[in-house]
Amino acid sequence: MPGPAPWHVPAASQNSLCPPNGEAETTPMTTTERPERSVPKPVFTDAEAGAREFPDSSAGARRYNYFSPAKRKQTHYEDVTVEVQPDPRHYLSQGWIYGFANGETGYPLHWTKLKAWGVDEPEPRRGPGTGGLHVQNWPAHGWHEFRDPNEEWEQTLYRYNANVVRQLTQNVDNARNSKAFSLWASNWVHFVERHVGAWMHIEHILGLYVFAANERSGPTNMHNTAMAANSARKIRFAQDLALYNLTLTEEIDGFDGTAHLQAWNSDAEWQGARALTEALTAVEDDWGEAMFAANVVFEPLVGELFRSNLVMQSAAPNGDFVTPTVMGAGENDYSQRDLRWTVACFAPLTQDKEFADHNRQLMAGWLTKWVPQALESARTMQPLWSAADHKPPRFEDSLDRAKNRFAGICRDLGLDSPEELKQ
């Protein structure tokens, strides 16, 4: 299209307040002659709901109508989450348009060995003249039935985590202002700098390299968003611990802010937990196993064992009322949110109308694989129960509590507690 470039504006018209040829000097403007500014004008369009009647104008048309809600009424969470990640078994008639080098496309259902009913049914085979072949009986497979009971989307995600960090900041500030750290027993100071500090690494690795690393792999947007939200909480908690460690370095004379690195890298008590944490990042091509091993096995048998049954039980007798609030935030993350979505995700699979046996056997195999490693890690940590002046409950009692908790989770999932738990 010929013609001058559209961004070229003649100099004379660049500023209407300064006309050319000195005109402004001879005809000064008065305040009543202010030139009209070039701005869009409001226009009454009457384009609001209910202004006219026509097909699709009723109140019943004002809902997303392309999915079936899990309950009678669709939730806000469902509205902003369901179907955002398409599925060729539903409406994605042209199929995925980019593939990996090995031919895989989109979100393959075999990226876990778990199965939900319907997954073995073939995708519609579309071609010239077939039409869209949209699946009429939806959902086409059981994965689409999952809803995160935490109903995580941006508002819940930010409100929850912002509340946690605000509360933590206030707690730590209050402790600082009241000189509460000076009440700590000296051995407890070393325990916190070394061992509470070491725990930050576990949360960080799980957050980034287990939960975030798998949020590309789940079969639906609900799964992947739940994993992303779980990841965000883990990474936040790791940073909470790191910044708490920084505060203590500033507030307590002699507090070694780098001792956690030494503990993490070389203390014998931590190497079992470290090896297990790293093993969780190495689960091959199975997001289901990674989530299961982390949230069903590792967290109750190692995570809660350390956080609840050691740190939170030991702190008060050693003069520390602050650390339990920091640890408690992470504990609440797990017990109130991470575990909730995990049970909602995995429990239906053990009752699946097509693959219940397959899934139960698979999960039983995962328990056989991961529970011994978790118990070994837990036992490696046993000397920590003797590290502080004022001792927490006995290690064996703590471990029994963790085992009971774990057995309860297995029951919630419809699984038998593994024989290995007796170790």
Partner 1 sequence: MSRQSLAKAHQKIQELAWEPQYHEPYMKYKTDYTFRKAAKKDPLKQVLRSYFPMEEEKDNRVYGAQDGAIRGNMFRQVQERWLEWQKLFLSIIPLPEISAARSMPMLFHVVPNPELHNGQAIQMIDEVRHSTIQQNLKRLYMNNYIDPAGFNNSLRNFQSDYCGTIGRQFAEGFITGDAITAASIYLTIVAETAFTNTLFVAMPAEAAANGDYLLPTVFHSVQSDESRHISNGYATLLMALSDEDNRQLLERDLRYAWWNNHRVVDAAIGTFIEYGTKDRRKDRESYAEMWRRWIYDDYYRSYLVPLERYGLVIPHDLVEEAWTQIWEKGYVHEVAQFFATGWLANYWRIDAMTDEDFEWFEYKYPGWYDRYGKWWENYARLATPNGHHPIVAEDVDYVYPHRCWTCMVPCLVREDMVMQEVDGQWRTYCHEVCRWTDAEAFRPVYQGRETPNMGRLVGHREWETLYHGWNWADVVSDMGFVRDDGKTMTAQPHLDLDPKKMWTLDHMRRMGPLLSPNVILNEMTDAERDAFKADYNRQGPAGRSAPSDA
Q: Which of residues 102-161 bind partner 1 (CB under 8 A)?
A: 103, 105-106, 126-132, 134, 153-155, 157-159, 161
The DSSP element (H or E) to which 97 belongs, if any, is none
Q: CA 276 to CA 64: how far, in whole Å?
A: 44
Q: Which segment (21-29, 245-253, 356-364, 387-395) binds partner 1 by CB under 8 A? A: 245-253
Which one, 30 or 43, has the nearer CB to partner 1? 43
Which one, 99 or 408, has the nearer CB to partner 1? 99
Residue numbers 4-33 binding partner 1 by CB under 8 A: 4-7
Residues 85/221, Cβ–Cβ less than 8 Å: yes
Residue numbers 156-215 binding partner 1 by CB under 8 A: 157-159, 161-162, 164-166, 168-169, 172-173, 200-201, 204-205, 207-209, 212-215
Q: CA 225 to CA 223: how far, in whole Å?
A: 6
Residue numbers 30-59 binding partner 1 by CB under 8 A: 38, 40, 42-52, 54-58
Residue numbers 216-235 binding partner 1 by CB under 8 A: 216-217, 221, 224-225, 228-229, 231-232, 235
Q: CA 15 to CA 12: how far, in whole Å?
A: 7
90 binds partner 1 (CB under 8 A): yes
Which one, 17 or 47, has the nearer CB to partner 1? 47
Report the half-sphere exposure of 223 (CA within 13 A, side-chain side): 23
Nearest by Cα to 322 from 312, 336, 332: 312
Residue of 98, 136, 179, 254 interacting with partner 1 (CB under 8 A): 98
Nearest by Cα to 205 from 261, 265, 268, 281: 281
Nearest by Cα to 298 from 196, 401, 375: 375
| Cβ count within 10 A of residue 9 | 10
Residue numbers 59-88 binding partner 1 by CB under 8 A: 60-67, 76, 79-81, 83-86
Q: How far is the CB of 44 from partner 1 (least distance, A)?
A: 6
